[in-house]
Structure 1
Amino acid sequence: AHYPGTKTVPNALLTKKKLWSSEDYSTFNDEVGAGCWARILNQNYVNGNMTSTIAWNLVASYYEELPFGRCGLMTAQEPWSGHYKVEAPIWITAHTTQFTRPGWSYLQVDGHLEGGGSFVALTDGLGNLTIIIETMTHNHSQCIRPRLPYFSVTPQRATFYLKGSNLGTLLFSYLIFCSLSFLQFQVWKGSFSLDLNVDEVYTLTTLKTGQKCGCPEPPPPQPFPSNYKDDFNIRNPPFSEAPNFADQTGVFEYFVNASDPGDHVFTLRQVVVQRPITWASDADQTISLIGNFQWVNMIVTCDIYIEKRRDGGVFIAGRVDNGGIYVRRTKGVFFWVFADGTYRVTGDLAGEEILMKGNSGVRDNAWHTLTLNIQGTSASGLLNGYPLWENVTISKPSNGWAAIGTRSFEFAQFDNFHIEA
């Protein structure tokens, strides 16, 4: 199921198969997002008999101004500083994951609380039991989708009855209450009562594992460096992508250009040469973003190598304002050069808003250096250190990232990227 709103269609139930919410959550990770996550983790089973809920996404590790910024269980969007933030949805997750294990089974009980909210009970089949209770109110638990019908939750005293032919007194001699602190309390004659306030999560368990909320102090946050260089000279990279670049369409990977006799043996290469089948309206061009969305004035320089003959092309760009599922509508200042020896300056990724065009002398299978200078309402461009165009008036966007990319899904290489902002 895809964002099922905790409900399952009757035909799915009739299959008698295990049901999962295979993509869910996708909500800004503040207190309301945590409430969303708490509610659906329980109610996907209580209402929809779904035994697994998979969050999109686990860690928000992309520029926050992109679509769905901070829609992860935690945030780690500054690889240049190492800063991260363990957001509230992580602690909601821990209420379940610290006190259950893969292979545990849900008990078939009516998990609706009389005053609103829900509970689930899980067991390992070996005598251990965990109960997770949530009392999230409507306004404190709205997810990004689907629309949440109104409901009410009130403070309540809930009584739980533990029954079963194999459940002895010793098994339930203690349960651990995990909220702001850990407490032990007795189960009397197979039942216990709790006073539940609204917008709270409680875990009760026979396990002695788990710990109170806590994590190491992360490094302090820092803005993206205003003077940034990358020559991509990594001989044995531990991963394929260059740091800090955020590919929106296409894939940009480290590349060893063994045939190059000069300074461009190690480069960054766009490697997707056929448009993928995608669920979103991706661009016809490839693009990778980098930098600080708040940048206004910037100088972007990059060596480029067009591999596609005749109609190949590449660009460098500044003040790029969008990406993700909205990448087709991306605006900015785009400096294009093409294999047929022409250039264009456009105000959009699609290339429809032409600000200037002319001849450049650029050809495929040769290295060239492009420089884009954006200052205030004016932009200019250099080719191999010499002015190619200047005094192009820029009205919008007023700020945005830097970017590199290609005219189509084609091979192309980039080297010695440098930005000053």
Structure 2
Amino acid sequence: MRSQHAVPQLRAVAPPRTLRTLRTPLTVLLVLVMAAFAVLQAPPAHAAVNTAITVDGNSPGRIFDGVGAISGGGGNSRLLADYPEPQRGQILDYLFKPGYGAALQIFKVEIGGDTNSTDGAEPSHEHTRGTVDCGTGYEWWLMEQAKARNPAVKLYGLAWGAPGWIGNGNFWSQDMIDYLIAWMGCATQHGLKIDYLGGWNERGYNKAWYENLHATLAAKGYGSTKIVGADSDWSVAGDIRGDAAFAASVDIVGAHYPCGYMSAMTSCSTTSDALATGKQLWASENGSEDYNTGGAPIARAINRGYLDAKFSAFINWPLAAALYQNLPYNTDGMLTATQPWSGTYSVGKSTWATAHTTQFTQPGWQYLDSGSGYLGGDRANGSYVSYKSPGKTAWSTVLETLDATAAQTVSLKTAGGLPGGTVHVWSSDFASGRQSDYLVHTADLTPVNGAYQLTLQPGRVYSVTTTTGQGAGTAASPTRGLLALPYSDDFQSTRKGGEARYLADMNGSFEGAACGAGRTGTCVRQMATTTPITWDDGSDPYATLGDLSWSDYTVSADAMLEQAGAVQLMGRVGTQKGFAPGSINAYYLELTNTGAWSILRNSAAGAVTTLASGTVAAPGTGSWHRLALTFAGRTITATIDGTKAGSVTDDSYGSGQVGIGTAGYVAAQFDNLSVTPGSPAALSGTYTLVNRNSGKALDAAKQGTADGTPIIQWTRNGGGNQQWKITPAPGGYYTVTGVASGKALDVPGAAKVAGTQLDLWTSNGGANQQWLIVPSGGGYYTLEGRDSGQLADVSGASTADEAPVVQWPANGGGNQQWQLVPVS
């Protein structure tokens, strides 16, 4: 591996969760134009300023409740449970262990409801009325892991959806309160105390329901659990002020995205009603940011949430991007962990932005208003917030200069009984892509004439503290790798109520259960038999598994219907559109209980096309049948019980995962899943790589041959700088070498930041020079960097000459697809 070298970078902007779409070429182009306009309109550099700060132990200020993150809003933590040791433990340490990484102080989890709530579905503890199973899902395990690392972490439960039997489809019902009480009982069985409980995520509130929930919690022995209302917007505050009974039933006012949605979070807002309630105010969900580029916004919001709006807690969505990369928001969180089979993970700047507060304070500390403000009185210079511990035994000040353009100085004085003496300074350089530049113990300071003098550099976060015990974890991730074929699972190691290895629910609930219809052992059963109370767009139940690079293969499984309906076997499963789990690129073999079968093609636009259909002897219910789909280039063949049912030719999708599902919410079982490889054509030779969206070639800029030459697109001209030799590399990857330069297509400095422009560099065998070349359909391919897991992408879906080619998370766009045209 080589050392870092300079590279032009674009700020990655993840797709918003409120827009029900992935990043489209037009959206990205608009974002880039707006960003360019903002740069042109940027104010001139600010002169260096000096700020005097008094950290006064007698200052007024609210009580600090903590900084946390959310596992939920749909399956974003799903793959963590399947990670091998020691990597799984390392990831959990980076999230929860004090003095190591994010050191999260609040852990908010989804109360599963068998329904998709962004990146998948989480299983219910009560699929049918009265049958409670406290072993379902992975959130109990994850809460236990958090508590094992930090017994002081506060736990918070919130529902996004619920099983359809509840209130005959009415969330605001007594059934739902009883459902939450059953969940609280499960928590007790797991030895967990739930500190906070919410209502219905982003769906408003019902005053009478909250009052009933408050009374029921007290009556059932959970009176110490505080209720957060309403996990939506600030409108709840007006009713809290105007209704004494409602006010008594809500302990904390929590709003979502009060620091801006998908923004730099330079300012935060509340309302006069919210401030007048006298209750603690929380940003109970904020974030939705890339794990790296989201670091600076998070650092701003933690400080500015208090300065602008008196927030006492900031909770980031989500905890981690531990999900498949064909799903939306696949880089959002504290870190990424997308390949349990390889054990690879990547810790992001968001972790260290969080650590600058969580490692230097604790819930129960007090904000010090006199020691909090904007540097030089101007938010463009940055901000600072001070805290004291109970008993005035310790204090910390967190400062950020993320928007500053020049160095500045601060002078800190203590008063009001706070300790003086030596203080410790920790710093993170958010302009850097090196892990070694985050949470660095830079200096110890002693007061001179009663004040500590500190020079602040721009683009950084600092923590000044009397406390000790901080640190940045040093565990390192292994390299990314493919999930090898053949792959099989007989589900015998799947626990009751658990999800099979690598199998991720997208809708419904596929759990380990005793096999039926005379079969012994464990099978996977679809448990949700009524349409849930949904949070987002609904779909039929299904679950997916595997490597997105799988291309030519046969997927097969045993299936058994318990009710009239249909079972589905899926293949070449690719991109999902936004919040719409029913809109996904995939092929299906569907078999009904009456014997009707069909080969279907779905799309990210939600268009389902029947490619072939027919009938076989009716399988009925309660009997097992073997389904198989074979993909060989453009040919797709369906087999039922070993007999060919039909075959079609279609090249819409060239690769993708496998999956199982049902048509409608019916009970069905699956067993003996198998994926066996075909014989895809090997890639080797010299090619021009032509972008699907623009029709232009992958090009070494200005016919450059030197290390660091940027990669762009340019009109095809037959030049050697547009010719690339593709050579197999270990592990199923390839190197892509410029013919004119003899140098490798390379991600500079092995950067993982989305938007990093690709370049040429002397071949060195590094993972940042290895590419997974995967058919995407229609004769096109994607190039996925082994080190980052991101795709070669024409920035902003531009069609112009000289547009930079960058790495960017997969989104299914034509600007990420390349035709390999052989050079004769």
Alignment CA distance shift 1:2-1:374 (3 Å): same
Taking the TM superposition and a 5 Å limit, the aligned residue runs for 1:328-347 are: 328-347=582-601
What is the alpha-carbon distance in structure 2 between the residues aligned to residue 40 and residue 381 of structure 1? 53
The Cα of 1:351 is off from its aligned counterpart by 7.6
Q: Which residue does the alignment assign to 1:206? A: 466
The Cα of 1:79 is off from its aligned counterpart by 1.7
- Amino acid corresponding to residue 628 of structure 2 in structure 1: T
Q: CA RMSD in A?
A: 2.0
1:250 aligns with 2:498: no
What is the alpha-carbon distance in structure 1 between the residues aligned to residue 277 and residue 382 of structure 2? 28
What is the alpha-carbon distance in structure 2 between the residues aligned to residue 227 and residue 41 of structure 1? 47
1:41 aligns with 2:302: yes
The Cα of 1:187 is off from its aligned counterpart by 2.4
The Cα of 1:363 is off from its aligned counterpart by 2.1
Contact 2:414 2:420 survives alignment (8 Å): no
1:379 aligns with 2:666: no
The Cα of 1:53 is off from its aligned counterpart by 0.8
Deviations 1:237-290 (A, max 9, x none): 286111101111111100113x5434x53100111112222221121x011111
In structure 1, stretches of 5+ residues that fail to align are: 138-152
What is the alpha-carbon distance in structure 1 between the residues aligned to residue 299 and residue 497 of structure 2? 34
Taking the TM superposition and a 5 Å limit, the aligned residue runs for 1:108-147 are: 108-109=369-370, 110-114=372-376, 116-126=381-391, 127-137=393-403
Q: Which residue does the alignment assign to 2:141? A: none
Deviations 1:19-66 (A, max 9, x none): 111111121112x22112211122122222111111111121111231
Deviations 1:196-220 (A, max 9, x none): 2221010100012212x23223343
Q: Which residue does the alignment assign to 1:299? A: 554
What is the alpha-carbon distance in structure 1 between the residues aligned to residue 493 and residue 485 of structure 2? 22
Contact 1:113 1:158 survives alignment (8 Å): no
Contact 1:21 1:54 survives alignment (8 Å): yes
- Amino acid corresponding to residue 288 of structure 2 in structure 1: S
What is the alpha-carbon distance in structure 2 between the residues aligned to residue 351 and residue 414 of structure 1? 26
SS in 1 for 2:256: coil
What is the alpha-carbon distance in structure 2 between the residues aligned to residue 39 and residue 231 of structure 1? 49
SS in 1 for 2:476: coil
Q: Which residue does the alignment assign to 2:573? A: 320
What is the alpha-carbon distance in structure 1 between the residues aligned to residue 330 and residue 659 of structure 2? 19
The Cα of 1:191 is off from its aligned counterpart by 3.0
Contact 2:295 2:350 survives alignment (8 Å): yes
Alignment CA distance shift 1:105-1:4 (3 Å): same
Bigger strand share: 1
1:217 aligns with 2:465: no
Alignment CA distance shift 1:121-1:238 (3 Å): farther
The Cα of 1:365 is off from its aligned counterpart by 1.3
Taking the TM superposition and a 5 Å limit, the aligned residue runs for 1:116-195 are: 116-126=381-391, 127-137=393-403, 153-167=404-418, 171-179=419-427, 180-195=440-455
Contact 1:300 1:402 survives alignment (8 Å): yes
Contact 1:290 1:402 survives alignment (8 Å): yes
Between Structure 1 and Structure 2, how many residues are aligned? 394
Q: Which residue does the alignment assign to 1:145? A: none
SS in 2 for 1:410: coil
Deviates more, 1:334-343 or 1:76-85: 76-85
- Amino acid corresponding to residue 233 of structure 1 in structure 2: Q
Taking the TM superposition and a 5 Å limit, the aligned residue runs for 1:362-377 are: 362-377=619-634
Contact 1:332 1:396 survives alignment (8 Å): no
What is the alpha-carbon distance in structure 2 between the residues aligned to residue 201 and residue 351 of structure 1? 48
- Amino acid corresponding to residue 594 of structure 2 in structure 1: D
What is the alpha-carbon distance in structure 2 between the residues aligned to residue 111 and residue 64 of structure 1? 40
SS in 2 for 1:60: coil
SS in 2 for 1:12: helix
- Amino acid corresponding to residue 155 of structure 1 in structure 2: A
What is the alpha-carbon distance in structure 2 between the residues aligned to residue 197 and residue 221 of structure 1? 35
SS in 1 for 2:581: helix
What is the alpha-carbon distance in structure 2 between the residues aligned to residue 226 and residue 111 of structure 1? 57
SS in 2 for 1:37: helix
Contact 1:155 1:195 survives alignment (8 Å): no
In structure 2, stretches of 5+ residues that fail to align are: 1-254, 260-267, 428-439, 678-824
1:405 aligns with 2:661: yes
Taking the TM superposition and a 5 Å limit, the aligned residue runs for 1:224-239 are: 224-234=483-493, 237=495
What is the alpha-carbon distance in structure 2 between the residues aligned to residue 351 and residue 299 of structure 1? 24
Counterpart of 1:9 (choices 244, 247, 271) is 271
SS in 1 for 2:338: strand
What is the alpha-carbon distance in structure 2 between the residues aligned to residue 351 and residue 387 of structure 1? 26
1:308 aligns with 2:563: yes
SS in 1 for 2:415: coil
The Cα of 1:161 is off from its aligned counterpart by 4.2
Q: Which residue does the alignment assign to 2:290? A: 28
Deviates more, 1:44-53 or 1:367-376: 44-53
What is the alpha-carbon distance in structure 2 between the residues aligned to residue 165 and residue 35 of structure 1? 32
What is the alpha-carbon distance in structure 1 between the residues aligned to residue 478 and residue 396 of structure 2? 35
Contact 1:157 1:193 survives alignment (8 Å): no
Deviations 1:359-389 (A, max 9, x none): 0223221100001001111100111111111
Contact 1:337 1:360 survives alignment (8 Å): no
What is the alpha-carbon distance in structure 2 between the residues aligned to residue 54 and residue 404 of structure 1? 34
Q: Which residue does the alignment assign to 1:287? A: 542
What is the alpha-carbon distance in structure 2 between the residues aligned to residue 55 and residue 223 of structure 1? 30
- Amino acid corresponding to residue 403 of structure 1 in structure 2: G
SS in 2 for 1:64: coil
Deviates more, 1:41-50 or 1:186-195: 186-195
Q: What TM-score, normalized to structure 1?
A: 0.88
SS in 1 for 2:330: coil
What is the alpha-carbon distance in structure 2 between the residues aligned to residue 22 and residue 197 of structure 1? 31
Contact 1:320 1:403 survives alignment (8 Å): yes
Q: Which residue does the alignment assign to 1:417? A: 673
- Amino acid corresponding to residue 158 of structure 1 in structure 2: T
Taking the TM superposition and a 5 Å limit, the aligned residue runs for 1:62-101 are: 62-101=323-362
Contact 2:291 2:349 survives alignment (8 Å): yes
Q: Which residue does the alignment assign to 1:144? A: none
Q: Which residue does the alignment assign to 1:141? A: none
The Cα of 1:221 is off from its aligned counterpart by 2.4
SS in 2 for 1:111: strand
- Give the percent of matched residue pairs that are identical in Structure 1 and Structure 2: 29
What is the alpha-carbon distance in structure 2 between the residues aligned to residue 239 and residue 70 of structure 1? 28
Which runs of structure 1 show a deviation greater than 4 angstroms over 4 or more consecutive aligned residues?
none
- Amino acid corresponding to residue 484 of structure 2 in structure 1: P
The Cα of 1:128 is off from its aligned counterpart by 0.7
- Amino acid corresponding to residue 383 of structure 2 in structure 1: S
